[in-house]
Amino acid sequence: MDLSVFKKIGLSDKEIKVYLGLLECGAVSVRGLAELTGLNRGTVYDILKKLQEDGLVSFYHHDTKQRFVAEDPEKLNDIIGKQEREFFRTREKIKEAIPELRSIQDKGETSQPTTKFYEGKAGIRTILDDVLLAMKDADKKEREYYVYSATKASSDINNAYPEFTANRIKKEIRVKAISLASGGKVSGLDERRWLGTRKDSATFIIIYGGKCAFISRDKKGAPVGVIIENEMIYATQRIIFLALWEKIS
């Protein structure tokens, strides 16, 4: 049996040991359960109290002693149901708190650029998720971002987030892309022009929502990325991109 499933519902190693011991032995005293599990009686008693609160254990008196017994394992589903309900309540509270948290974040922003560094596939995926999130909050007419596309970085992006383009199209986000080298294609709600260089190892640059993201590789060839959050830097990069876009039409 995979005991890790019990940990996912919040039971510790010792609690799992006591619960399985009860299932195996049926009605048993604290002393008998302590001998079976190798735990001291005080620990066993505390665990039984916790398992009773979870609805997994009950007890009855036999002569002058307490006997403990495991409830039907179906009760485990009750714990999961309770956790699910708590999760959904927490998620709703987080949703309600997000606008206030963003307001706090906005008050704390300064004129200095904020730089965030990311590593590996997970880091690249985080950057791309940020692009989708930023564009999602924009008006439909302004739901567009700009890209300098580089061959090797494009491959890293596809490996990190293969469904990115499909998600972008689903959210009706447009993109203009300038390919620094040959290659690349259009997939929907996008336009592409080619600069005609052979710099296939160049950095992939995304200009979006008041930010600029740079995706490249480190000295060992692993994907890395940086997001710079600053409206002036974004505006400057956007001006340069659109000017170049018109020149290579």
- pLDDT reading at 208 higher than 80: yes
For 36-82, write each residue's pLDDT tens digit: 999 999 999 999 999 999 899 998 887 777 899 999 999 999 999 98
Domains identified in the chain and CATH numbers: 4-73 (1.10.10.10), 112-247 (3.30.870.10)
pLDDT at 77: 92
Residues constituting the chain: 249
Q: Which residues of 199-232 are buried (b: 16+ CB within 10 A; e: fewer)?
A: eeebbbbbbbbebbbbbbbeeeeebbbbbbbbee
Q: What is the pLDDT of residue 100?
A: 85
Task: Dump pLDDT digits (tens) for 90-117.
Answer: 999 998 888 888 787 776 655 567 899 9
Report the pLDDT value the prediction gives residue 24, as an integer from 0 to 100. 87
HEC secondary structure over 102-151:
HHHHHHHCCCCCEEEEEEHHHHHHHHHHHHHHHHHCCCHHHCEEEEEECH
Coil, strand or helix at 71: coil
The beta-strand segments (E) located in the chain are 57-62, 65-70, 114-119, 144-149, 174-179, 190-194, 204-208, 211-217, 223-229
130-153: pLDDT as tens digits: 999 999 877 877 899 999 998 888
